[in-house]
Amino acid sequence: MLKDLHDLSGKVAVVTGGSRGIGRAIALTLADAGADILLNYSRSDKPAEEARKEIEKKGRKCVTVRANVGSFTQAQAIGKAADNHFGKVDILINNAGVNRDRMLRRMTYEQWNEVIQTNLSSCFNCTKAVLELMLPQGEGVIVSVSSIIGEMGNVGQTNYASTKAGIIGLTKSLAKELARNKIRVNAIAPGFIETDMLKTVPEDIRNQILADIPLSRFGSPEEIALAVLYLCSPAASWITGTTLRINGGHYI
């Protein structure tokens, strides 16, 4: 019974920014649950190919699409590829994201705009790219990756915090719009996760962050992926418009 509630057999999931970090963990976890994967990435081919091979070893189909999802035009290629290879999309994971941290007075417009386009506009772009495939099915799931920073803010991250807060508002509004079509829309707000992005943080700052986390450790990409699996599965069939906080108690 419990296994059935997390079964995604026959489903097709699009995962943006899926070649590394949280996105990669999400793609692999959804594949473990039975979903075929369209994996989007924007830069290096090698990590994407490695992820594709891992997914195919699990017996699932995987198509990789290189596209900058911050570009509306490039994001359309994701919808076209999903239609060509699978004929449908059941799940969309808006995960692509970057950070360009700097105090606002020193932040350039380019640094502001790149983060806005990649983190927030991509959610609009990719949802538009797959929605017409999802609507005729009369069901679907969209999960967008926000952040604890979108809820609490952070020094030097006005651009990043703005995008992650925006994702929460987008999620609530889109959930209301698409409920009549039985499409559920949710977000997750991870805390500090052991990824390449966190590795760039100086050790003294990492220690300060750890001191504020009641569970006294950073999270793992796999823990975030399991939460996403829950929201995508029949186990979460009455959940929409919510933001699931996954942060070790950091936001208490």
Indicate which residues carry an active-site annotation.
160
Read out DSSP for 106-168? Answer: G--HHHHHHHIIIIIIHHHHHHHHHHHHHGGGT-EEEEEE--THHHH--TT-HHHHHHHHHHH
Count helices and strands in the chain by DSSP H and E runs: 11, 7
Give the position of tokens 């208490």: 252
- Please say whether the beta carbons of 42 and 69 come within 8 A: yes
Side chain identity at 106, as an amino acid letter?
R
Q: Check: CB of residue 248 under 8 Å from CB of residue 217.
A: yes
Which H or E element spans position 188? strand 183-190
Torsion from C-alpha of 50, 54, 55, 57, nearest 10 degrees? 140
Amino acid at 155: V
Mark 158-191 as b/e (b = at least 16 C-beta within 10 Å): bbbbbbbbbbbebbbebbeebeeeebbbbbbbbb
Question: Which strand (E) or helix (H) includes residue 197?
Answer: helix 196-199
